[in-house]
């Protein structure tokens, strides 16, 4: 999936992501983004099962498998992932790039009060793995 235009994120979901990241601090929060090519319609928080969740994330495989199964059965579509950088910047790290599949899925990164969006893409402009995507609020 490619985002040639801004992805829509409601203020309620924006606030939910900021609250989740703050609550998880000093660890990284993580989860799934559900929606379509135009909008993130839901976020699904997942357990961070990384060995060191203070500087990396790994979405609980059981949660990911369950969401993939639900999607194949007509449930909400997984369009990407999100995680926080509690002591970093709201941009992909080299570690993020190393773990990203070039599948066009969306990645949201939360740091402090900032949320940025990125598309996982081979040869991307950031670490050769990501391209920036604009986040826009839905029209009133």
Instruction: Tell me the catalytic residues.
Output: 28
E strand map for the chain: 7-9, 30-35, 39-46, 78-84, 106-111, 114-124, 128-133, 135-136
What are the backbone dihedrals phi and psi of residue 17, each rounded to the nearest 5 degrees, phi first?
-65, -45
Of 129, 134, 87, 94, residue with least CA distance to 110: 87
Of 63, 73, 57, residue with least CA distance to 24: 57
């Amino acid at each position: 999936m490619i985002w040639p235009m801004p992805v829509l994120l409601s203020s309620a979901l924006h606030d939910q992501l900021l609250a989740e990241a703050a609550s998880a601090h000093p660890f990284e929060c993580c989860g799934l983004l559900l929606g379509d090519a135009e909008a993130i319609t839901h976020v699904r928080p997942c357990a961070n099962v990384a060995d060191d969740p203070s500087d990396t994330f790994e979405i609980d495989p059981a949660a990911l498998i369950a969401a993939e199964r639900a999607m194949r059965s007509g449930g909400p579509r997984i369009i990407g992932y999100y995680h926080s950088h509690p002591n970093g910047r709201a941009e992909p790290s080299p570690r993020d790039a190393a773990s990203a599949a070039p599948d066009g899925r969306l990645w949201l990164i939360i740091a402090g009060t900032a949320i940025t969006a990125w598309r996982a893409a081979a040869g991307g402009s950031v670490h050769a793995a990501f391209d920036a995507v604009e986040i826009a609020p839905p029209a009133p």
